[in-house]
Amino acid sequence: MFEIGWGSAEIDVSPKGYAMNGYGMSNHQAHETRTPLLARALVISDGSTRRVVLCCLDMAMVTHEMREEACRSLAGLMGEQFWSEGFALMCTHTHSSPGGCGHEAMYNFVTPGFVQEHLDAVVDAITAAVGTAIASVAPSELSLATGRFGERDEVAWNRSIAAYNRNPDAPTMSASQAHVALDRDMAVLSVSRDHELRAMMSLFGVHATCIGNTLRAHDGDNKGYAAQDAEREMDSRSGHDDAVAIFAQATAGDVSPHYHGPGQVRRRRAVRKGGDAIYAEQNGKLQSRRALTVADHEVQVPIDGPLDAVLAYFDFTNVEVDPIHVDGVKGARTSDPCHGASFFEGTRIDGLGIPKPAGSVARFLARRIRQRRLSRHDGLSRQDRGYYQELYASQGAKDIVLEAGRKLTLGRPLAKTMLPDFVDPAVAEMKREARSGSLEHSPMVATILPVQIIRIGSLVLLCCPGEFTTTAGRRLRESVAGMLASDGIEKVLIATYCNDYMGYVTTVEEYQEQAYEGGHTIFGQWTLGAFQTRFAEMAEQLTLNRDKRTYDTSIRPPRVPPAELALRSSLAPRGK
């Protein structure tokens, strides 16, 4: 039996008109708080000096700064019981949450800039939630069960069915079958004390985008509503008032809470007319009731045994992929990060980006630039020509608009991009920051990323940064599960949006479609293979005794120059 505690705390960010994180729209500003945003935590101890800490935020993404600041704070709180490898920081991915919490520039352009008070509030909430959890630690039963949403449960749809159908290991689905072109299973980790269900963690992948980009308020969206509903129900049963329900994300990359198929735009308009918040609450209740049903009625597998974890950071811009993960292809490598035209165009139902005509022009120019660079008539140096040959081989079908590594848009420096300011206010902010010198030595996106595996008895959690599609996540789980089966591991689950954020991970087949998800798979077509390669390495380390492990624990992302960060900090909200 484990000793387990749970707790929650509000992320106390005062809405002052800053643009929120998720939709990438500068007019999607927070002027009020509709529902509280919380940090929720579980602390698990097996009696040793180290504890596993699972913490989930009602936020759109986790940044390296969130995790690093939280690690420092928790080390002060917990002393030697804090164990960075055993601390997983995840989020619900609500798109109605504060932005500006990372030092990398790109995902802060709309905020605008970095906002220290937002980061401080997040870290304070993490610390308070974990502190409450530690105070409540006591012997508790831990069990795992899985249940499936019925096909009539209108909870999730695959929003990228054409890309999904490219996978040879997935059944071909029609547009009217988008609701089954995803993983409809929900895994629930249940915590009971004195035979009462007191806390839980659900893993089910669906975007927290029920609430669109017109609500100008902080809101927990479907996952937040699910947590509130489940917590009320557990408290009413037990007679306590401290239940914690974590509704974390699994393979949500290509999964939407909105209907996708014939008549999808009309149906989305009907939802909007009825009220996005009402729809979010309905979707959340479906998730909550499924989680409670799983906890109450599905076969519970007791979880017991040792706690263990491994975590290391890797540079994902130059990973040589193990051929076993890419059908024997040799020489497959990742590259510097690039964003495609489809990324800037957004998704039709969940969130449109730049106008289609602008996207078409960007696509045309990107192809011309590629053609010129790969010819021998562009005046490139030998070194640059070699660089671009490797970049395009890795990026494959992507029409590259933004080279985040070299900080170029359509082949020009950021300050001189051909995209006009009126196309998107974020473009104007990007130009302004580039002209100010605040991007000179600062990364645009995270490229040195954490790979973490947490073992809780016979259960393993793969804690992944970013957004994995349905099939990408399944392939990752299967490749790791095969390695750990002989080590007493009976179940491997994937938790996404963990510990940092860098965009999407599609399969190589999905990538060729260059839908939004492929355009936002920044390290190129072999990105999934790179994650499989690194997770396989860490899974092998997990099977070794701790004193035999050889992975490097010192690698971390480079520090952003303080002078540059200062130029991107404390910027006035637009319209103020």
Question: Residue 247: how many CB atoms within 10 A of its CB?
Answer: 31
Residue pointed to by tokens 């929650």 = 8
Summarize the chain as % helix, strand, coil (round to 5).
40, 20, 40
Instruction: State which amino acid sits at residue 251.
Output: T
398 and 338 Cβ atoms separated by less than 8 Å: yes
Report helix angle 264-274 to 276-297, nearest 10: 100
pLDDT in tens, the chain (576 residues): 899 999 999 999 999 999 999 999 999 999 999 999 999 999 999 988 889 999 999 999 999 999 999 999 999 999 999 999 999 999 999 999 999 999 999 999 999 999 999 999 999 999 999 999 999 999 999 999 999 999 999 999 999 999 999 999 999 999 999 999 999 999 999 999 999 999 999 999 999 999 999 999 999 999 999 999 999 999 999 999 999 999 999 999 999 999 999 999 999 999 988 999 999 999 999 999 999 999 999 999 999 999 999 999 999 999 999 999 999 999 999 999 999 999 999 998 998 888 888 889 999 999 999 999 998 767 788 899 999 999 999 999 999 999 999 999 999 999 998 877 777 788 889 999 999 999 999 999 999 999 999 999 999 999 999 999 999 999 999 999 999 988 889 999 999 999 999 999 999 999 999 999 999 999 999 999 999 999 999 999 999 999 999 999 999 999 999 999 999 998 888 765
pTM, full prediction:
0.97
C-alpha distance from residue 351 to each of 315, 516, 551 (Å): 30, 10, 40
Contact 453, 302 (CB under 8 A): no
Residue 410 per-residue DSSP state:
T
**CA nearest 51: which of 153, 137, 128, 116?**
137
Which of helix, strand or coil describes residue 191? strand
Q: Residue 145: what residue type?
A: A
As a whole number of angstroms, the distance between CA 230 and CA 226 comes to 6
Q: Which residues of 29-51 are buried (b: 16+ CB within 10 A; e: fewer)?
A: bbeebbbbbbbbbbbbbbeeebb
Supply angle C-alpha 312, 507, 261, rounded to 5.
130
Give the strand pairing for 185-193 and 51-57.
Answer: unpaired
Sequence length of the chain is: 576
Which stretches of 165-275 are DSSP H helices? 221-238, 264-274
